[in-house]
Amino acid sequence: VQLQASGGGLVRAGESLTLSCATSGFAPSSYSIGWFRRAPGKEREAVSVITRYHDITYYSDSVKGRFTISRDDAKNAAYLQMNSLKPEDTAIYYCAADPFVSLTLENWKSAYFEYWGQGTQVTVSS
């Protein structure tokens, strides 16, 4: 199982970016997949997850309504569409996957993910 995040960059506030997470060794729909970020000087934060098979999605309050998580088995990839970006979205973004984790509204932010990709830097200027 391998994941590789890409698509980060430098954008201005209000602009959009789409992050991609290329997967190998599994079908994306068979794993729960999450996007996480770590801003400078801060702890890692769960941004969004999509559950295996049922495609239930959860978002942190800070990105709800602006970010959309998705995946495509045919392309072996997951995505994080980020709209209306803000300077506070600046962080290194990571994708992660796990075949067994059970995600609920109560636990998704702290759930354990087994497999992680390397990060991609997103910088939003004001």
Tens digits of residue pLDDT in 17-40: 999 999 999 999 999 999 999 999
Above 90 in pLDDT, residue 83?
yes
pLDDT at residue 117, as a whole number:
96
- Report residue 125's pLDDT band, with 50, 70 and 90 as the boundaries: very high
The DSSP element (H or E) to which 70 belongs, if any, is: strand 67-72
pLDDT at residue 63, as a whole number:
98
Exposed/middle/buried for residue 102 (C-beta within 10 Å: 0-12, 13-18, 19+):
exposed
* Averaged pLDDT, 87-98: 98
pLDDT at residue 4, as a whole number:
97
Above 90 in pLDDT, residue 53?
no
pLDDT at residue 44, as a whole number:
96
What value, to the nearest 5°, has the Cα angle with vertex 46 and ends 43 and 49? 165
Contact between residue 89 and residue 124 where contact means Cβ atoms under 8 Å apart: yes
